[in-house]
C-alpha cells in the first residue's frame, strides 16, 4: 500500500498541534518549536525541534511525548526527535495565532 507522504505530513502536524508547552497555553507547532519534519521512504519520521530555553523544565519529557505521539500514527514506522538550539527559539518564530492567543497582537 502506497502512503501519501504529504497526507502523512499533515497527520503529523495535526498530532503536533495536540502537544502543548506546559508554561505557555499554545501548542508546540504554533509556538514555532518544530523546525522541520522529515519523512523517509520507509515512513521513519525525524523531527527537528527546539525548546523555549535550554533549561526548559520539560526538556526531558517533551521530546519523548512528541516521539510517542508521532509513533502512534498508524503509517509511521518509527519516530525520532532531535533537539537543537541553533537557531535559538524566539518569539518571532511563533505563528500569528499563537501571538494572538498570548495577547501579543
Grid coordinates given for 47: 523531527
Residue 29: how many CB atoms within 10 A of its CB?
22
Q: Write the pLDDT tens digit of every residue in 15-58.
A: 999 999 887 889 999 999 999 999 998 999 999 999 988 888 88
What's the confidence (pLDDT) of residue 58? 85
Q: Is the whole model's pTM more than 0.95, yes or no? A: no
Report how far residue 10's alpha carbon sits from residue 32's, in angstroms, rounded to the nearest whole number: 16
What's the confidence (pLDDT) of residue 96? 96
Q: What are phi and psi of 99, to 5 degrees?
A: -65, -40
Grid coordinates given for 76: 509511521
Asked whether residue 95 carries a pLDDT value surpassing 70, the answer given is yes
Name which CATH class applies to 5-88: alpha beta
Amino acid at each position: 500500500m502506497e502512503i501519501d507522504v504529504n497526507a502523512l505530513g499533515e497527520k503529523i502536524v495535526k498530532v503536533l498541534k495536540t502537544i502543548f508547552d506546559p508554561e505557555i497555553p499554545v501548542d508546540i507547532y504554533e509556538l514555532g518549536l518544530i523546525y522541520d519534519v522529515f519523512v523517509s521512504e520507509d515512513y521513519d519520521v525525524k523531527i527537528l525541534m527546539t525548546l523555549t530555553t535550554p533549561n526548559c523544565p520539560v526538556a526531558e519529557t517533551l521530546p519523548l511525548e512528541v516521539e510517542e505521539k508521532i509513533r502512534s500514527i498508524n503509517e509511521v514506522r518509527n519516530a525520532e526527535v532531535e533537539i537543537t538550539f541553533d537557531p535559538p527559539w524566539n518569539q518571532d518564530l511563533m505563528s500569528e495565532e499563537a501571538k494572538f492567543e498570548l495577547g501579543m497582537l
